[in-house]
């Protein structure tokens, strides 16, 4: 079964450093997302991306965050200057665009630890 793949699975970075999390969505999917989950808390929406532009973003997704689809397969999340509170599991997700009810598939996640 096709799946969303993410790299790295785990990254430790120093506060203030830039981090890029990478995702390869399922190949025929058109909508892409980033969610995050701080340890012990709920999954939170960050951003959705369609047709090469951001379609929606949350309050969490401030100027320190950016997303990009640099080629036909990768979808990246960049955090410019990481803060301690950015430590979380970051999930990439995708879905097809045919019906609004299409399942959103999640990747295995990238665990980011900011020290």
Partner 1 sequence: GQNIDQPTEMTATEGAIVQINCTYQTSGFNGLFWYQQHAGEAPTFLSYNVLDGLEEKGRFSSFLSRSKGYSYLLLKELQMKDSASYLCAVRGGSYNTDKLIFGTGTRLQVFP
**Where on the chain is the footprint of partner 1 (CB under 8 A)?**
31, 33, 35, 41-45, 48, 50, 55-56, 58, 89, 91, 100-101, 103-109, 111
Report the residue number, 14 or 27, with the smaller CB distance to partner 1: 27
Q: Which is nearer to partner 1, 31 or 75 (CB)?
A: 31
| Tokens at 37, concatenated | 């989950």
Q: From the CB of 73, what's the least distance to partner 1, in Å?
A: 19
Determine the number of helices (DSSP H) and then strands (DSSP E) in the chain: 0, 11
Minimum distance, C-beta of residue 113 to partner 1, in the bound complex (Å): 13
Tell how strand 10-13 and strand 110-114 pair up: parallel
Q: Closest CB to partner 1 among 15 and 38?
A: 38
CA-CA distance, 10 to 12, in Å (whole number)?
7
- Tokens at 114, concatenated: 């900011």
Which residue matches tokens 């969490």? 60
Task: Quote the tokens at residue 29.
Answer: 């999917």
- Smallest distance from the beta carbon of 71 to partner 1, in angstroms? 23
Residue 15 or 43 having the CB closest to partner 1: 43
């Amino acid at each position: 079964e096709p799946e969303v793949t993410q790299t790295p699975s785990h990254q430790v970075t120093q506060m203030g450093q830039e981090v890029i999390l990478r995702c390869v969505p399922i190949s025929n999917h058109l909508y892409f997302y980033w969610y995050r989950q701080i340890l012990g808390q709920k999954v939170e929406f960050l951003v959705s991306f369609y047709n090469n532009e951001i379609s929606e973003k949350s309050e969490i997704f401030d100027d320190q965050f950016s997303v990009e689809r640099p080629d036909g397969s990768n979808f990246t999340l960049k955090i410019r200057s990481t803060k301690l509170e950015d430590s979380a599991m970051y999930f990439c997700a995708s879905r097809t665009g045919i019906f609004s009810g299409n399942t959103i598939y999640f990747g295995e996640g990238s665990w980011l630890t900011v020290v």
